[in-house]
A and B are shown apart, each in its own frame.
Chain A
């Protein structure tokens, strides 16, 4: 009883045999394909996505055009692969901005409390009471249809969301007794934030960030669907869906391909995020 033996000795909880599961790896596989495709699109044996009339129009899938061509003869697969660049850049870029600004301020706010917390929290509530997509449309309209502007605009949308998640989580851990113990040991505030609170906030955060990337990709697609994202001829998933929908009469299956790419990417991000949250979830109390 007094001594703990190596292995599953009495009095020691057995390590839980948690696994990430096949669905997680399937999702990671799809995301890897999409990300590698976006990075190495130029090296892939794909026709130029913007080469209009480079091929016969409205072809079905064939060996030369795996997913066929659209009404102006552009290769559909190539459009999707190149279009993923915008989606991923916006998804990861905007989330990164949200993580750095929202996450950093959230940690400070949740740990320090007091008037700093009250102030930052009010600001976040003001941002949240603004419909995010309207804010993004307004910013893009005024500052120009450039990739950088869209990333920043959606980063601003993501920031208060990440802030609130991190703040709440940091607050609850800041009240835990291990933080009081660290204080009693003489740890500085910065040390407590980075050594005691951040590691606990991080696991919830990672899962949430996966979903945030999905949401940002979705919002970018919605923006480009209504024409306020990167201007043509740069291919994006939203524009591809928009064009396919308007051509529904001449080519009834074209909309499926970019939609599926969007669907599987967002689904993969959500499932992977959820699996990570479960995997790192630590059983904390069994007294």
Chain B
């Protein structure tokens, strides 16, 4: 698993198409951190794509590379048919308006020196030449929409708010430019569980109200389940599995996905605990020197010799469900690209 390929792309009509995205950072002489290695995915208009994986798997880097906050090393990012990777200066700034991002740390996301109404009005200050009154009306409207009181909160500064309220302010700011695509980079990871639900609900409301398409990045499968239409699982800079949300949770095809699902705590004491051999052991390998073949093989319970040699191509296992694994838990449909698992079964030395 943890492979390459583009068989899972929905193709025409996608709002955003990311193909063969590679992001590498220099890490000392002759060494490069391969944060994202040949990742492809696309998002249909109105869809919410969950992007899941452990810390360090490259999901946040992928999110930032989409909006060109980090320049991809290679690959293509097309938004509404327009290629973003080559854009610079004013053209890039204009296209970016269509994509907005919400970050993990709600405090760090807001400039501590500015009043929140100024922060929320910033997009208008950059892009519109409307007068002060029109601007204030719009800011009030958006404050209302995200559940903040303009009169009481507007003139305060970010440190006077709780994390959840700061996240509301971030959402308000992002929505000010009427984006089509909202990238949420672990927007609730830093929040208390009770507040998490409020922010998730708010995002859901905003999604339907502003007809947003979303990429929802999280390390927590339970959070993603509630908000996503489709889920993409990443491991160490590679795509493992892409599937409609119910299918993924009911029938995970990738051993990594299965391990992630098994690690969700079960609140019901009558359900027997997961056998420990199904849980994931060990640490994420270094992205500077990733394992050969399938990157997951070092922690995979079912890895065989072939996994060290050949990198699995992504292929279809059922309708809309794709996996990059030599030995998926669901046998692949022959219509998918790539050879069926059986052909790899012969032992390979190396």
Q: Does B271 contact A (CB under 8 A)?
A: no
Between A and B, 5 residue pairs with Cβ closer than 8 Å are A4-B161, A6-B151, A181-B173, A188-B93, A287-B107
B246-280 interface code vs A (CB 8 A; 1 in, 0 out): 00000000000000000000000000000000000
A1-37 interface code vs B (CB 8 A; 1 in, 0 out): 1111111010111010000000000000000000000
A residues adjacent to B (C-beta < 8 A): 1-7, 9, 11-13, 15, 176-178, 180-188, 191, 195-196, 199-200, 203, 282-287
- Whether the pair A180, B147 counts as a contact (CB closer than 8 A) is no
B90 to chain A: closest residue by CB:
A188
Q: Does B234 contact A (CB under 8 A)?
A: no
Q: Which of A177, A183, A200, A282 contacts B159 (CB 8 A)?
A: A282
Cβ of B168 to closest chain A Cβ, rounded Å: 9
Q: Does B184 contact A (CB under 8 A)?
A: no
Cβ of A3 to closest chain B Cβ, rounded Å: 5
Contacts of B99 in A (CB 8 A): 184
Cβ of A174 to closest chain B Cβ, rounded Å: 12
- Whether the pair B151, A184 counts as a contact (CB closer than 8 A) is no
Contacts of A203 in B (CB 8 A): 113
Given A2-B147, A3-B148, A6-B152, 11 extra CB contacts under 8 A = A11-B165, A13-B159, A177-B109, A178-B111, A180-B69, A184-B100, A185-B123, A186-B96, A195-B111, A199-B111, A283-B159
B residues adjacent to A (C-beta < 8 A): 64, 67, 69, 93-94, 96-97, 99-101, 103-114, 122-123, 126-127, 147-149, 151-153, 156-163, 165, 170, 173-174, 176-177, 190, 198
Cα A107 to Cα B157 with chains together (Å): 24
Can you list the 5 inter-chain pairs with the closest CB atoms, starting with the nearest?
A: A186-B93, A199-B113, A177-B103, A6-B152, A4-B153
Known: A184-B96, A185-B173. A13 touches B69 (CB 8 A): no
- Whether the pair A3, B149 counts as a contact (CB closer than 8 A) is yes
- Whether the pair A284, B101 counts as a contact (CB closer than 8 A) is no
- Whether the pair A9, B152 counts as a contact (CB closer than 8 A) is yes
- Whether the pair A185, B126 counts as a contact (CB closer than 8 A) is yes
Cα A13 to Cα B190 with chains together (Å): 18
Cα A187 to Cα B158 with chains together (Å): 20
Cα A176 to Cα B106 with chains together (Å): 11
Contacts of A12 in B (CB 8 A): 153, 156, 160-162
Cα A259 to Cα B176 with chains together (Å): 60
Contacts of A200 in B (CB 8 A): 111-113
B183 to chain A: closest residue by CB:
A184
Cα A11 to Cα B147 with chains together (Å): 14
Known: A184-B69, A200-B113. A3 touches B152 (CB 8 A): yes
Cα A1 to Cα B100 with chains together (Å): 26
Cβ of B162 to closest chain A Cβ, rounded Å: 5
- Whether the pair B160, A185 counts as a contact (CB closer than 8 A) is no
- Whether the pair A176, B108 counts as a contact (CB closer than 8 A) is yes
Q: Which of A4, A13, A185, A282 contacts B100 (CB 8 A)?
A: A185
- Whether the pair A184, B67 counts as a contact (CB closer than 8 A) is yes
Cβ of A182 to closest chain B Cβ, rounded Å: 7
Cβ of B125 to closest chain A Cβ, rounded Å: 9
- Whether the pair A284, B148 counts as a contact (CB closer than 8 A) is no
Q: Which of B94, B153, B158 contacts A186 (CB 8 A)?
A: B94
Cα A187 to Cα B94 with chains together (Å): 10
Known: A199-B114, A200-B111. A182 touches B67 (CB 8 A): no
B176 to chain A: closest residue by CB:
A185
Contacts of B104 in A (CB 8 A): 177
A9 to chain B: closest residue by CB:
B152
Contacts of B156 in A (CB 8 A): 4, 12
Cα A113 to Cα B57 with chains together (Å): 26
B147 to chain A: closest residue by CB:
A2
- Whether the pair A186, B151 counts as a contact (CB closer than 8 A) is no
Cα A182 to Cα B100 with chains together (Å): 10
Cα A195 to Cα B158 with chains together (Å): 16
Contacts of B96 in A (CB 8 A): 183-186
- Whether the pair B148, A182 counts as a contact (CB closer than 8 A) is no
Known: A178-B108, A184-B100, A185-B126. A15 touches B69 (CB 8 A): no
Cβ of A215 to closest chain B Cβ, rounded Å: 27
Contacts of B103 in A (CB 8 A): 177, 180-181
B112 to chain A: closest residue by CB:
A282
Known: A6-B152, A13-B160, A13-B161. A191 touches B100 (CB 8 A): no
Cβ of A231 to closest chain B Cβ, rounded Å: 46
B108 to chain A: closest residue by CB:
A177
Cβ of A151 to closest chain B Cβ, rounded Å: 32
